[in-house]
Chains A and B, each alone.
Chain A
Amino acid sequence: MNAPLSILKMRLLRGMQYRASAAAGMVTQFFFGLIIIMVYIAFYEHSGAAQPMTLKEVTAYVWLTQMFYAFVAYWMYDGELFAQITSGNIAYELCRPWRIYPVWYAKLLAMRLSIAALRSLPIMAVVFLLPEPYRFALPASPGAFLLFIAALFSGLLLVAAISMFVYISVFWTMSPVGSLIVATVTGEFFAGVILPVPFMPGWLQEIVYLLPFRWTADFPFRVYTGHIGAQDALAGIGIQMIWLAALVSAGQWLMGRALRRVVVQGG
């Protein structure tokens, strides 16, 4: 079996071991979803002006964020990779017949996939059954659903490509804390995880559309609700691919530079 694939398999199996963590995560996600939707309900009841998204769309958006939290959260990280850089165990990693970038990329994907695999479906099952207005709406159309799946998974590929930069930065900083905070705050805000992009002021939206982050959360979730139509969704998936290619090549180039100046810590 191909090396990155077998790493992916090992990580998936390991991630699935932690059932208690998955249960706790599900409860947290469910709780946060409810609170956020309550806030939106209050907001919609007391604001006269027309809103850029309907309450139904916003509810679906919030639940999607919670279900696929592992696909959109930037603070999730793989401590083992950081430890490899700071402890010097990367020496062994470099003695293997593989390139580091694809292997680490596979590890990051596996981590997010294994977390989401356990949490998304049970949350989905529960929120479909909730009473209105908390209920999770069905996708806008079967077509929108298929486009959503495609957009969601290319979004996952993008998230992994973006978070690779955090790991690469540790070759210089030796501590992941700073990069993680920066990535989390900017990434999650500009991705629309904290506030859906249509609610942002116009000038801010212009900035958001220039950055890659929105393609990981805002875009796939609005494709699901039908807020972004099929035509735009197809074009969007194309743009996701362009961003992915750009970020992966930039990451591989930087990783190459990092490895050339690598210092194996601790002798």
Chain B
Amino acid sequence: MSLITLTGIGKSFKVAKRSAGFKEAVKALFAREHTIVEALRDISFTVREGEIVGYIGPNGAGKSTTIKIMCGVLVPDAGACSIMGFTPWKDRVRYVRHIGVVFGQRSQLWWDVPVIDSFELLRDIYAIPPRIYRKNLDLLAEMLDLADILRTPVRQLSLGQRMRCEIAASLLHDPAILFLDEPTIGLDAESKIAVRNFIKSINRERGVTVILTTHDIHDIEALADRILMIGKGTLLYDGSMSDLRGRYGTRKTITVDYKRDARPVDIPGAECLSLSVNRAVYTFDSDRINITDLINRLSAGGELADVEIGSPPVDELILKLYKEHRV
């Protein structure tokens, strides 16, 4: 039984357009041109309880729109969505009790009062019983290292501190599902790792289902068992990270360092990417070329100092997917 089911979700926006210049601006006062932008087209997927799903895609692909539909904020034009038995936009008030949301680019904390005041207002809004509130607050403060910043006004927090508070704020009411829209945007390496570790442990220890969008591929690699990729409003890939690697990851790169000046060796099936004084880089398909064979042939070019074989980074896999689907 799946927790989240989306079937054939579609959503389009009307966007006003005009060219630059004063004349055009005056013209737009009387007759405005609109184009219909199809943000989402026939999106269907399901998510099981306890999963962490990474939702990726280029800018403007429709990630945030999908998240907002699943949170009950936007109403789709077509399709059906059932989350824990609710239709988000129809049963919004009853439904949102069970979810936590972080929009990385916005803030849910009151700007000029200490963080704890915002938390207490959220406690009132969600009518969280005092005992549970206390327990969750202590737990979150410890896990996210908030003890020192709870009494600081939000405007004086660094971005990393604020994001930790935002995530804590979205979990005070024990949600079953956590939606994170770019939770690591703009964070430094240390804060990113803290946020990732926290998401992992909240998923493991409390069984919270997590759906996150991100542009940081390391987030996905560290967190998501499963990725959904969307481009130009359509779902392009739904599967595990290792499947994606299996599909595109047979292409490897080999970097060879020679002890003396290298001579380029032409190897059928491998492509020479770069060649400098002591170093040569090739790419090849590991399904078609035997690695031992390859190294033997390379050593014909001179005495080898070092050989390094690498898989392409996930970024490149993603770019390949984009290219394959022309997004």
Contacts and interface: CB of A to CB of B under 8 A. Distances in A.
A6 B120 CA distance: 10
Given A6-B125, A99-B93, A262-B73, A92 B101 contact: yes
A92 B74 contact: no
Given A92-B108, A94-B92, A10 B74 contact: no
A264 B74 contact: yes
B261 to A, nearest CB: 53
A5 to B, nearest CB: 8
A96 interface: yes
Contacts of A7: 121
Interface in A223-267: 259-264, 266-267
Q: Which bracket fits the contact residues of B?
A: 20 to 34
Given A1-B124, A262-B74, A97 B94 contact: yes
Given A92-B103, A96-B96, A6 B71 contact: no
Size bin of chain A's contact surface: 20 to 34
A88 interface: yes
B38 to A, nearest CB: 14
A263 B97 contact: no
A267 B106 CA distance: 10
A89 B109 CA distance: 11
Contacts of B72: 94-95
A3 B125 CA distance: 5
A92 B109 CA distance: 10
Query: Most A CB atoms within 10 A — which of B73, B94, B121?
Result: B73
Nearest to A260: B75
Nearest 8 CB-CB pairs, A to B?
A: A6-B124, A94-B73, A92-B108, A97-B97, A95-B101, A3-B125, A91-B73, A1-B124
16 contacts: A7-B121, A88-B106, A91-B71, A91-B103, A94-B71, A94-B92, A95-B96, A97-B94, A97-B96, A260-B89, A261-B75, A262-B74, A264-B64, A264-B68, A266-B105, A267-B64
